[in-house]
Homo-oligomer: A and B are copies of this chain.
Amino acid sequence: MARRTLTPEPLTAGAFEAFGDVIETRGHQGLPINDGQALRFHDLAAIDVLAEEGRVLLNIFRARPGPAPIRVRMMERHPLSSQAFVPLAATPFLILVAPPGANVAPAALRLFKSDGRQGVNYHRGVWHHPLLALERDAEFLVVDRGGPGTNCDVWEIDEADEVTLRS
């Protein structure tokens, strides 16, 4: 029996680099466009969804979070694509990831917290927990893949590895 409680790290591009992109304006230079009426923060995520006849899907996910504390029972990965989540009402959320590989070692789990103005784009094959919204009915724009093939692997966390998350 190994108990593990994770507390979030701040979500920064550098800390998250091995797992994906942080989708945010911070740290990016905005390019003036439209005769100065807008700033364009350009190309903020590597959208990688076209493998094996894939196509881009744009979706909205609405969260129905369960009771606290959050107990981690599984992780998932998409072997054929990236997957991006961007909050639509500046709601903070948790991001639990583990490096790509054949399995998920509980000791390798990393927990981050978005301030609500940050989205993430998981790179292909990165283990991640399904959406960990902190508010009921929070909505997220999700960019992922449609198309043939099996694009979701699940890793069950061993019952003996009791992993819980602090928000």
User: Chain A residues in contact with chain B, CB under 8 A?
Assistant: 23-25, 30, 33-45, 47, 49-50, 55-66, 84, 86-90, 117, 119, 121, 130-131, 133, 139, 141-143, 146
Shortest distance between the CB of A146 and any CB in chain B (Å): 6
Which among B44, B66, B90, B146 is the interface contact of A59 at CB below 8 angstroms?
B44
- In contact, B58 and A84 (Cβ under 8 angstroms): yes
**Is B86 in contact with A61, judged by CB distance below 8 angstroms?**
no
| Overall SS of chain A's interface | strand
Do B63 and A37 touch across chains, with their CB atoms under 8 A apart?
A: yes
Known: A25-B139, A90-B89. A56 touches B62 (CB 8 A): no
- A45 touching B23 by the CB < 8 A rule? no
Whether B64 and A38, one on each chain, are in contact in the complex, defined by CB atoms closer than 8 angstroms, is yes
B47 touches A59 (CB 8 A): no
Bound Cα distance from A130 to B39, whole angstroms: 12
Contacts of A63 in B (CB 8 A): 37-38
Known: A86-B141, A88-B90. A59 touches B37 (CB 8 A): no
